[in-house]
Amino acid sequence: MLVTAAQQAILFWQNLYNNGDLSMLDTPSDPVITLRDIHLTLGEGASQVHVLRGISLDVQKGTSVGVVGPSGSGKSTLLMVMAGLERVDSGGVLLAGEDFSKLDEDGLAAFRGRNIGIVFQSFHLIPNMTALENVAVPLELAGDVKAFEKATRELQAVGLGERLTHYPAQMSGGEQQRVAMARALAPDPKIIVADEPTGNLDDETGAQIAELLFAKQRERGTTLVLVTHDPSLASQCDVTLRVRAGEVESAAKSSTRKSSNGKKSAA
């Protein structure tokens, strides 16, 4: 059993680094997200859909990646894979240096709690908890004794120091999304994934949120993967990844900005 697992792990690493023709790395530095020929099929029987069809890519530490594509192209599913929420049928996935295919469900949850912060289009705050409690949840789950102090600081950092005891229903959409962002940032994750973070907000608030998101990402050197329909939001990312029919159609470096550490990223 152990031997088999070890053999498989070795095979995996060999495949990973000898896989020259599929590697899109242009700098052999420090990828935080590595995908190798991943395939994913959802549904059963007649409703089966081959959602991801052999995607390979590397995302460097501190890079921001905008994933764009038409509805049903598989971009949200790709995001879920990169957030450690969805397992692939075949192919290799390395997140923050860990092969999470080896983790069981609970190990995966704990892994996410430590390494990945998620921002949703519809915020998904827990309605019966205050802003402070919402932000403290991942820290409490990780057993952090200073959960509430850290959560307070995070909320102050997104400008909500005065709204600690408010419940989600008592806050505006923009405020809720800022709480969600504080919650995603609180455990100091290596990767932040955001699914249409401005999709439920008006243009002005959306722009503020986007600005805050990029500011925090740069400030902490976190890797950001962002799914969006909004071309202007995508253009603010270091790299724009265009997905169509479960495959990466193109990957382009954004002209408008560079990643905080100056490294070029590729996909």
| Minimum distance, C-beta of residue 107 to other proteins, in the bound complex (Å) | 4
Asked whether position 200 contacts other proteins by CB under 8 A, the answer is no
* Nearer to other proteins among residue 200 and residue 261 (C-beta): 200
Q: How many CA atoms, within 13 angstroms, populate the side-chain half-sphere of residue 226?
A: 30
Q: What b-and-e string marks burial along 162-183, b requiring 16 or more CB atoms within 10 Å of the CB?
A: ebbebbbeebebbbbbbbbbbb
> How many whole angstroms separate alpha carbon 62 and alpha carbon 261?
7
The count of chain residues that interact with other proteins, using the rule CB under 8 A, is 59
Axis-axis angle for helices 173-185, 131-141 (nearest 10): 20
- At closest approach, how far in Å is the CB of 267 from other proteins? 17
- Report the run of H or E that residue 193 belongs to, with start and end: strand 191-195
Which residues, numbered 4-63, are part of the site for other proteins (CB under 8 A)?
A: 4-5, 8, 11-12, 15-16, 18-19, 21-22, 36-37, 56
The radius of gyration of the chain's CA atoms, rounded to the nearest angstrom, is 19
Q: Where does residue 178 fall: left (phi above 0), alpha (psi -120 to 50 degrees), or beta otherwise? A: alpha
Tokens of 260: 């905080």
Could you tell me the smallest distance in angstroms from the CB atom of residue 84 to other proteins? 9
Site string for other proteins, 89-118 (x = CB under 8 A): xxxxx-------xxxxxxx-xxxxxx---x
Which residue, 125 or 157, is less far from other proteins as judged by CB? 125
Query: Hey, which residues between 163 and 192 contact other proteins (CB under 8 A)?
Result: 183, 187
Q: In angstroms, rounded to a whole number, what is the distance separating the alpha carbons of residues 21 and 37? A: 11
Q: Which residue number, 3 or 255, has a Cβ lying nearer to other proteins?
A: 3
Give contact residues for other proteins (rule: CB under 8 A): 1, 4-5, 8, 11-12, 15-16, 18-19, 21-22, 36-37, 56, 76, 79-80, 83, 85-93, 101-107, 109-114, 118, 120, 124-129, 133, 137-138, 140-143, 183, 187, 195
